[in-house]
DNA sequence: TCATCACTTAACATTTTCATCATATCACCG
DNA sequence: CGGTGATATGATGAAAATGTTAAGTGATGA
């Protein structure tokens, strides 16, 4: 409860905390599913991912604590959605960066391989 | 070395990994300083933050491993800069989201306070 | 060459996450 | 009510990240 005051703290701490909330594959998967739009029930998320209910539930709890998603119960099911559309923006900007990184890394790999095959690199 | 292949892994894992690289106040501070543009020497970063050299250096190492920054040595000093301008984009989109979250949380707090003062919420 | 400044890496104890399993809650149906 | 499906919470051990201190490398300049 002390790590989520969001206020009275330097912005860089709050921001680091936000990224901490995003720093897990299950949570990214979940957010990306929710970024598709509309509400998604826990059942659907479970079916999609094949995770153990309690495992997913704990990650959903993390996402809630970070104010990234909101949930509402309808009957016996619970539906989740993004708390803010900006969450989807963040994910897509991350993807753009990642594509760039991957492409560059790819190029570097190719270059290294070339250097390996011909030990004396020409030009 | 196994956690940074960047390739041959589902995108959501790579993405989660990216966020992990951002998930620390010192690293956010550093990136934000570098996002200002230009190269910044470790000395300057140390002066700005007042951190222990080894502490900062370890975080710089994390940022390098995540391909978020690049360093080059000039004489006895080492200069860092963002590896991609998109890193700055990511930070600024995060800020936008955060402002939204903070504003909303603020509103909720005010509402709660009002509810406290009058125990029976009207409407 | 060796002393020093600038920075990095290594080693290790501490703290924080994570995964797993057991238990609890909540809503509905019989 | 009691049972069952859907989800959440709690507890525990393992794994990973963090902070600290010490030792290492690389360039510079006496």
Mutation pick from B94, B95, B106 vs chain A, by most beta carbons of A within 10 Å, is B94
Asked whether residue B90 is domain-assigned, the answer is no
Q: Report pLDDT digits (tens) over A31-67.
A: 999 999 889 999 999 999 999 999 999 999 999 999 9
Which among B16, B28, B29 is the nearest to A23, CB-wise?
B16
Identify all chain B residues contacting A20, using CB atoms and an 8 Å cutoff.
19, 23
- In this structure, is the CB of residue A20 within 7 Å of any atom belonging to strand C? yes
Confidence of residue B54 (pLDDT cuts 50, 70, 90): very high
Asked whether residue B120 is domain-assigned, the answer is no
Q: How far apart are CA B86 and CA B104, in angstroms?
A: 27
Q: What is the dihedral of CA A29, B20, B80, B74, to 10 degrees?
A: -120
Asked whether residue A108 is domain-assigned, the answer is no
How many structural domains is chain A composed of? 1
Q: What are phi and psi of A45, to 5 degrees?
A: -60, -40
Asked whether residue A6 is domain-assigned, the answer is yes
Asked whether residue A56 is domain-assigned, the answer is yes
- Is 90 exceeded by the pLDDT of residue B76? yes
Residue count of chain B: 123
- Is 80 exceeded by the pLDDT of residue A86? yes
pLDDT value at residue A107: 79
Which among B25, B87, B97 is the nearest to A90, CB-wise?
B97
Q: Which domain holds residue A40?
A: 2-84
Pairing of strands B40-41, A77-82: unpaired
Asked whether residue B16 is domain-assigned, the answer is yes
pLDDT value at residue A37: 83
The sheet that has B69-74: what strands, in order across it? B40-41, B77-82, B69-74
* 3-class secondary structure, A74: strand
Q: Are B6 and A105 inside 8 Å of each other by CB?
A: yes
- Is 80 exceeded by the pLDDT of residue B3? no
Q: Which CATH number fits the domain that encloses residue B13?
A: 1.10.10.10
Q: What are phi and psi of A119, to 5 degrees?
A: -60, -25
């Amino acid at each position: 409860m002390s790590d989520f005051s969001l206020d009275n703290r330097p912005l860089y701490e709050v921001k680091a905390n936000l990224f901490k909330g995003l720093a897990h594959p299950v949570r990214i998967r979940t957010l990306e599913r929710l970024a598709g739009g509309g509400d998604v029930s826990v059942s659907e998320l479970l079916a999609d991912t094949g995770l153990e209910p309690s495992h997913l539930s704990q990650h959903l709890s993390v996402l809630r604590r970070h104010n990234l998603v909101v949930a509402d119960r309808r009957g016996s099911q619970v539906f989740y959605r993004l708390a803010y559309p900006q969450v989807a923006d963040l994910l897509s900007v991350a993807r753009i960066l990642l594509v760039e990184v991957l492409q560059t890394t790819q190029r570097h790999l190719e270059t290294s391989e070339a250097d390996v095959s011909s030990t004396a690199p020409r030009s």
